[in-house]
Amino acid sequence: MQQIQRYGYILFIAVMAILPNLLNSRWQAVAITFLIFTIVALSQDIVLGKCGMFNMGQALFFGMGAYATAILNSTYGWPILATIPVAILVPALFGVLLAGPIVHLRGDYLLVTTIGFNIVFVQVVQNNLGGITGGPNGIFGLDSLSLFGTTFLSQLSVYYFAFAILLATLWIMHNLDASRAGRALHYLREDQLAAESIGINSRFYKIFAFALSAGIAGMAGTVYATQYSAVSPEGFNFIQSVLFFSIVIVGGSSVPGILIGVFVMFVLPEIFREFATWRFFIFGFAMILAMVLRPRGIWPARFGRIPKFLIKESNHGT
Amino acid sequence: MARNELILNGVTKRFGGLTAVDDLTLKVEEGQIYGVIGPNGAGKTTVFNCITGIYKSEEGSINWRGKEIRGMTPYQIVRRGIVRTFQTIRLFSEMSVAENIMSGRHIKSRQRWWHGIVHTPASRRDERENWKRVEQQLDFFNLSEFAATPTNSLPYGIQRRVEMARAMAVEPTLLILDEPAAGLNDKETLELLQTIFRIREQGVTVLLIEHDMDMVMEATDYLTVLNFGKKIAEGTPDEIQEHPDVIEAYLGSEHDDDE
Ligand SMILES: Nc1ncnc2c1ncn2[C@@H]1O[C@H](COP(=O)(O)OP(=O)(O)OP(=O)(O)O)[C@@H](O)[C@H]1O
Ligand SMILES: [Mg+2]
């Protein structure tokens, strides 16, 4: 199984590296959207899938990163790439500040609170608070990517930028799974009382999950702002958060599950554009059906990543 | 350095009108296997919950190695060397046996939160060393063959062993077991007894609740008997067996071994 998974990853990365060269410009744009939303969905998985916290405000952190890039670029003239650290740190910091007072809440209360945060965020940027968010129209006319004085105008370069950020995200997720902090999140989701009774500071690790997740979503925000050369409030609506939430639940808390989820939610609708009015109707039903048939997601998370030397002969596992 | 002693003084815990633990005083000395017994609903689990920080007692003091621990959170108490198991087994049920035991290494691991994002040579070494410790616990509790098995697919007796292995992975000074023999058959109970003795040999003090009278008399050095939250007797197993109040409490109440 682990073998298959490893080859799967290599194949996926190879295909995604070649893919944009085979696509026309419209489909390249779709592919970039796929990459961006995959990054956000993976970040959502840290809080929702791994740690089991019902966060329905992920678009807030996504938007915060996008706005950080847009403001720094359009108002202060920073190159796009130079805005990345800020687009990570600002959402991560807000992740800590917002999660602090709410992580002890029970699932349903936490969910409502995070929706509230998301709505407040959209209102704030819509009302042009501080005169820097551009109001309902947002901010447009951002620069293209540039590095060492060379400017990359093509859509292809935006694709590879998005792809690089996705690879970085996958690498972080991989590291997380084989670390003390990553396991702590799993333990908390499975049984918080047992986790605390074994010495895990639940508050600390829940806030950590929020901050890490927010930072990654913020990074995706930079790519989003680059793709459209613009940001506007409706892109970070709470409806977007609902979609990210659904992707993790429907896909299952695993990388393949999330890839399938994003594909179904964002790419299939593009393929079936002709059925514009019907598509969400169909996807709504597809979601319901998936949950009824596979309550733990299409591709559920698998546990048991333990070192090989622990697996003895006559093993009852796998 | 203070001795590894646990001293409860006048501990009282109320739930609304019910006084679940009533002015309890007891002292667990280093190296003992200390038993707490009593009929159903006597308040035994509640005492353990007060010691491990899950509940905060309204009155009294709980002193561990010369420091007051009443009012601390569970994870702060674990860091001081007190670890427990639960009467109703609480494992991370979808995770493998090895991962469950690895959770016990959490406080011993030197990794910091940022190692969850970027590994370093030191964090990799730490990771490997802790998995080695897990391997030792797997051996000690004879669980090696189940290392990769999710715990929810294991029989009850093995789950109890996993929970103890997880607690022992913390390298505790005081191990608290809430009815470790509940649901075990005679053979498993006998093995459990041997395991408890081997744990004591490692220098760990053991505090346990038990319903199985034979096992309590066999295992413990010293006992406290609770009834309706109050201590009705304390002493060595021999003394307790002769104690009229204890005989009264056990014969007078309908006592059920399976709880
Ligand atoms: N969280 C709680 N809220 C209210 N009452 C509680 C709570 N926990 C325990 N009690 C009550 O406190 C009393 C003591 O319960 P406890 O679980 O400590 O008994 P016990 O001696 O462990 O019994 P058993 O042998 O059945 O495990 C019981 O009457 C129980 O109903
Ligand atoms: Mg009990």
Residue at B87 is within a domain: no
Maximum CA extent, chain A? 67
Contact across the interface for B135 and A310, Cβ inside 8 Å: yes
- B16 to B19, B53, B55: CA distances (angstroms): 8, 19, 14
CB B250 within 8 Å of CB B232: no
Shared domain check, B259 and B178:
yes
Give the start-end residues of each E strand in A54-202: 139-140, 145-147, 150-152
Ligand 1 and B21: CB distance under 6 A: no
pLDDT digits (tens, 9 = 90+) for A64-77: 999 999 999 988 88
Min Cα–Cα distance to chain B from A106, Å? 17
Q: Of B169, B196, B225, which closes a domain? A: B169
CA of B74 to the centre of ligand 1 (A): 19
Domain boundaries, chain A: 2-236
Tell me the one-letter amino acid at A28.
Q
Phi, psi of B59 (to 5 degrees): -135, 165
Residues 138-177 of chain A whose Cβ lies under 8 A from any Cβ of chain B:
172, 175-176
Share of chain B above pLDDT 90, in %: 70
CA of B43 to the centre of ligand 1 (A): 5
Question: In terms of residue numbers, what domain contains B111?
Answer: 93-169
- pLDDT at position A296, please? 77
Shared domain check, B180 and B63:
yes
What's the whole-number mean pLDDT along residues A251-262? 88
- For chain B, what is the domain count? 2
> Which residue has a Cα nearest atom 31 of ligand 1?
B41
Say if strands B205-209 and B174-178 run parallel, antiparallel, or are unpaired: parallel
Nearest CA to B165 out of B184, B183, B151, B186 is that of B151
Contact across the interface for B93 and A172, Cβ inside 8 Å: no
CA of A197 to the centre of ligand 1 (A): 19
pLDDT digits (tens, 9 = 90+) for A85-138: 999 999 999 999 999 998 888 888 999 999 999 999 999 998 887 788 888 888
B80 has a chain A CB within 8 A of its CB: no
Q: Is the model's pLDDT at A42 over the cut of 50?
A: yes
Residue A317 banded pLDDT, cuts 50, 70, 90: very low
Residue at B58 is within a domain: yes
- pLDDT at position B246, please? 78
B120 has a chain A CB within 8 A of its CB: no
Q: Looking at the CA of residue B21, tell me the nearest atom of ligand 1.
A: 14
Q: Is the model's pLDDT at B257 over the cut of 50?
A: no
> What is the spatial distance between Cα B111 and Cα A183, in angstroms, rounded to a whole number?
12
Total count of residues recorded for chain A: 318
pLDDT digits (tens, 9 = 90+) for B24-45: 999 999 999 999 998 888 899 9
Residue at B123 is within a domain: yes
Shared domain check, B190 and B157:
no
Nearest CA to B6 out of B208, B219, B217, B180 is that of B208
Contact across the interface for B92 and A200, Cβ inside 8 Å: no
Shared domain check, B97 and B200:
no
Q: Of B148, B169, B190, which closes a domain? A: B169
Residue at B86 is within a domain: no
ipTM given for this complex: 0.90
Determine the 3-state secondary structure of B81 from DSSP: coil
CB A216 within 8 Å of CB A172: yes
Q: Looking at the CA of residue B43, tell me the nearest atom of ligand 1.
A: 18
Shared domain check, B122 and B182:
no
